[in-house]
Amino acid sequence: MSKVQEAQKILKALELPPEQQNEMSALTLLALTGVGPKEPWKNAARKSLTVTKGIMAFAATRYRKKYAPNTRETFRRHVLHQFVQAGVADYNPDNPSLPTNSPRAHYAISEAALSVVRTFATKEWATACAQFKKQQGSLLDLYRSKRSTIMVPVHLPSGETFALSPGKHNEIQAAVIKEFAPRFAGSPKVLYFGDTAKKNLVIDVDALQQLNVSITEHDKLPDIVLYDGKRNWLFLIEAVTSHGPMSPKRVVELRKMFSRCSAGLVFVSAFWDFDQFRKHLKDIAWETEVWIAEVPDHLIHYNGDKFLGPR
């Protein structure tokens, strides 16, 4: 195993996120400890280094890995910041009062991490890692915790609850289930519901087949499909952010996909606010509906002869 691979193993054991277990991160750890290709980890030492003339120069001279000058910010933002958060490195230990953008900004391996690194491949290694994580905590756990606090909760009419990945698209989808569905679809059954991170979060194949809808892996379903059994209406809903609304092209595609469906089709474009809606005014097909989350009690009907209902 090379020293770079060993450094990656150390970072993984200290529970740095996967993004901070790459070659650049490993070389940063090696530079901060001063461990060369042939040196044992027990010889690791603490020495303050700047990014360019310290860490990047060490990688180039000791490991023959040269990085372009403009990679300095990548080292700083995607490796060293996380090292400091994880307690692996100290920022400006020789002069903590240095301003943020000072050319003399420097980093050093923390005393706690140094004591762990020196035990690598010894019988004390496991105990030292456990003690470090107990004292410093796990950055991986911290990031997971922060991510979970910003997940988008959604409660389906069936009582099922999901935590969607963060993002405006999923916020609109959650609003459709919470606000649109009870106002305009009664107590619908959710036949399809996707997450930006997991497309087929909910898909009721049996219920779709009962409505004579057969979905293949090549079919692109709308973001949400709701079924109102009392009126036998199927709501096909697009949550509009970066991708488009119910355009004429999209409606033709969906009518073909649902051509044998025994329920009436209702096409809906859902927006977060009027600003987003205005961007797509010319793209929306006639005989479709528009719902805007910031005014949840109202619909905009793209036709004058008929209000909400199948076309």
Backbone angles phi, psi at 232, to 5 degrees: 55, 50
Structure tokens at 253: 């595609």
Name residues whose C-beta falls within 8 Å of residue 88's C-beta, 6 or more positions apart in sequence. 11, 14, 16, 29, 109, 110, 113
pLDDT at position 148 is 46
Residue-level pLDDT at 306:
59
For strand 202-203 and strand 189-193, is the pairing parallel, antiparallel, or unpaired?
antiparallel
Q: Are 46 and 108 in contact (CB under 8 A)?
A: yes
What pLDDT, on a 0 to 100 scale, did the predictor assign at position 194? Answer: 75
Which residue ranges form the domains of the chain, and what is each CATH number? 3-147 (1.10.10.1820), 150-301 (3.40.1350.80)
Question: What is the spatial distance between Cα 204 and Cα 122, in angstroms, rounded to a whole number?
Answer: 54
> How high is the pLDDT of residue 159?
65
**pLDDT tens-place values along the chain, 311 residues long:** 899 999 999 999 988 888 889 999 999 999 999 999 999 999 999 999 999 999 999 999 999 999 999 899 999 989 998 898 888 888 899 998 887 778 889 999 998 899 999 999 999 999 988 888 877 765 555 445 544 444 455 666 666 666 666 678 888 888 898 889 888 988 888 888 876 555 556 788 888 999 998 876 556 889 899 999 889 999 999 999 867 899 999 999 999 999 999 999 999 999 999 988 998 998 999 999 999 999 999 999 987 565 667 76
pLDDT at position 51: 95
